[in-house]
Amino acid sequence: MEELRATINETAFRNAENGYTVLTVRAGRENVTVVGVMPEVAAGEQAVFQGEWVQHPQYGRQFKAASCEVLAPSTLLGIERYLASGLIRGVGAATARLIVQEFGLETMDILSQQPHRLSEVPGIGVKRAKQIGDSFREQYATRQAMIFLQAYGVTPGMAVKISRVYGERTREVIQQNPYRLVEDVEGVGFLTADRIALSMGVAPESDSRLSAGLIYALQEAAASAGHTYLPMDELLSLAGRLLRVEPQLLQTHLTALLLARKLRAHVMDGVEGVFLPQMWQAESEIARRLRDLQAASQTIMDGTVDAQIRNFEKAKGISFSPTQKKAISMAAQQGLLVITGGPGTGKTTIINCILSLLDSESVLLAAPTGRAAKRMSEACGMEAKTLHRLLEYGGEEGDFARTQDNPLEYDALIIDEMSMVDIFLMRSLLRALVPGTRLIMVGDADQLPSVGAGNVLRDILDSGAIPSVRLTEIFRQDEKSMIVYNAHRINRGEAPRLNAKGSDFFFERAVSPSDAAKRIVALCASRLPSFLHLDPVRQMQVLSPTKKGECGVWMLNQLLQAEFNPAAPGKHERVRGDTTFREGDKVMQTRNNYQLKWQKEGVFGAEEGQGVFNGDIGFIVSIDPQEHVMSVQFDDERVAEYEGADVDDLELAYCISVHKSQGSEFPVVVMPAVGGPPMLLTRNLFYTAVTRARRMVMIVGRESAIDQMIANVNTRRRYSALCWRLQQVMSL
């Protein structure tokens, strides 16, 4: 193996997913092309490459690097070019120049050992100096981790996450037990840890490997399918396939994990389920706290509820059905109540009547997402907050300011879109409620369950332990609208009526997925906006059942971005992985980021906070090409600045998945129906998509694909134990 010492000229190509890089470097007096998987480098840096010379049939002589060791820049120009490269957050070309002018050849030592001195540079305050110093140290640790991990096929992005957790101890920790990655580092799969371990010589049947595989199987079941447990036989079978060992071999290790209480088990209705401890604890606590709330419930206005309902009917010029009256009356008489029903069944009107009954009480309104909260506010004429905002998120993940030690001391709380609430958010909410608080939960149990683990709304209803009312009569139905009508037909397993005269529910046939994609772009770009006089980006939303394929989220986003926001002179861009973000792009946050700070101009001046959450949609308002900062303004006017790895949590949102659309409504929904994996194309997914539209639904594809979705009720069972736990605690 040969050695090549060189100075980096530029990065000609880099695949952010796998780290494959093409560099032009200066070696002596010669410009050389270096290729290979390596850490991210900056122009002006020096590096030592280990590898061999090869002859590429198209590009000629190249140095194929097996490893890359980056050396600290030693010249003023090299230091400045390194700092200005974008690798260090908060430092662009102008800032880099000022720093080098101030510290000269001592700059690298200052950054690593005395970053507080950066505040001596004009324009850099104490806070920013700390940020730059932290970023520099993070970058150094990341590089060392990548140098160590690249031999094991770890992607650069994953190396960043690993180094953030372990820092300078990355090599030491992983060499001791690579399977720690599974538990310690979010997003590190068992397969990655296993590949590293096996490459290091760990035996396939080692205790650490088999135990880690069992834990990972449960984690994966929760993350991918929302399970809070797995039946023991299914767990052993799944882990056996994962580890490529006989399931019987795992029984001893499973028993050891149970004895060490690293896993929990319980027999429920004759089936022994195995839980991760956090899942076990969350469902158990939810059941206990719901029991306690019900036990402390208070009634209101005994003997006056019927009169209050009549007064509301007279004032609004409406007439409630017997079932609706029952729901309203029970809300007044019960401490806990679930109201469930599909679109058009009057849930919002019922909430407004309940609010009039609770006029003398202090009442909170809440929903899981910003869009759902905004819609609830508009419908009820009072503020509704997201659950995260209600609980006053305040720092580390899951760290809410509102807890049992600092509760929400209100008389009543009404939550909409309960189907979206997972077990961990539900537990946090219940911790913040004092006994005697009236809790009214409203939602559509036929929609898709929460993205997170658990099946809270469905389990509560199925338990029969909490009072509930199911609304079935349709009231929000004018003569011209077919959206609500068809939604209920779909839910009953009946084909929707398509293209009825004067309708708002349309179907356009396409001969193939590529044809459907072209038609969707044409509909969104010109046909529908001109017909409906709507903003095609802000008031229309393409929903896809799948991420992959010609009509999947990824491909449709590329096509729609090219149509609505193409590249243009003066329009700044930022490339991240396979996605090019541009100023003006519609984007979505794809995971909860509890640390990301935001600002918002309010009635009483600027507001500040932190936390941007999965499903939040906004627009890129600016991209700073020098400082590598991207500003996004969300629907509720919050503006957050994205730097470094935070950008990885964003994706284009011209098209989003049906799952991501939960809790939102859009004037117009456009959806492809072209077939695909049966596990994705289900009746409740189709129902969820249709119920997101207020003004029009447009389906593009094949009638047979619509029939396939309606017929498919074989949704993957979600293993959850809250129903069983509620039945147990309520019977005590």
Residue 260 predicted with pLDDT over 60: yes
**Euclidean distance between the first and the last CA atom of the chain, given in angstroms as a whole number:** 73
Are β-strands 693-701 and 666-673 bridged in parallel, bridged antiparallel, or unpaired?
A: parallel
Let me know: does 141 contact 149? Beta carbons within 8 Å: no
**DSSP label of 393:** B
Q: What is the mean pLDDT of residues 455-461?
A: 95
CA neighbor of 403 nearest in space, from 413, 416, 412, 392:
392
Q: What is the mean pLDDT of residues 305-326?
A: 91
- The predicted model scores a pTM of 0.76
Burial of 67 from C-beta contacts in 10 A (0-12 / 13-18 / 19+): middle
- DSSP β-bridge partners for residue 640: 598, 632
H helix intervals, 381-482: 387-390, 423-431, 456-463
Residue 476 predicted with pLDDT over 60: no
Spatial separation of the C-alpha atoms in residues 650 and 641, rounded to whole Å: 12
Q: What is the mean pLDDT of residues 296-318?
A: 81
Spatial separation of the C-alpha atoms in residues 725 and 268, rounded to whole Å: 9
CA neighbor of 608 nearest in space, from 596, 598, 593:
598
Are β-strands 412-415 and 336-341 bridged in parallel, bridged antiparallel, or unpaired?
A: unpaired
CA neighbor of 250 nearest in space, from 195, 213, 221:
213
Spatial strand order in the sheet of 617-624:
605-612, 593-602, 639-642, 629-634, 617-624, 586-589, 650-652
pLDDT in tens, 403-451: 999 999 899 999 999 999 999 999 999 999 998 899 999 999 888 888 8
Spatial separation of the C-alpha atoms in residues 603 and 624, rounded to whole Å: 28
Spatial separation of the C-alpha atoms in residues 315 and 699, rounded to whole Å: 40
Average pLDDT, the chain: 87
pLDDT confidence of 298, banded at 50, 70, 90?
low
Spatial separation of the C-alpha atoms in residues 312 and 318, rounded to whole Å: 8
pLDDT confidence of 480, banded at 50, 70, 90?
low
Q: What is the mean pLDDT of residues 489-498?
A: 92
Q: What is the mean pLDDT of residues 349-373?
A: 89
pLDDT in tens, 524-551: 999 999 888 999 999 999 999 999 999 9
User: SS3 for 165?
Assistant: helix
Sequence letter at residue 369: T
Q: How many CA atoms lie within 13 A of 528 on its CB side?
A: 29
pLDDT confidence of 43, banded at 50, 70, 90?
confident
Q: What is the mean pLDDT of residues 643-671?
A: 90
Q: What is the mean pLDDT of residues 1-13?
A: 87
Q: How many other C-beta atoms can be found within 10 angstroms of the C-beta atom of residue 317?
A: 6
Residue 49 predicted with pLDDT over 70: yes
Handedness of CA 395, 396, 399, 405 (dihedral sign): negative
pLDDT at 303: 66
- Residue 697 phi/psi, 5-degree rounding, is -120, 135
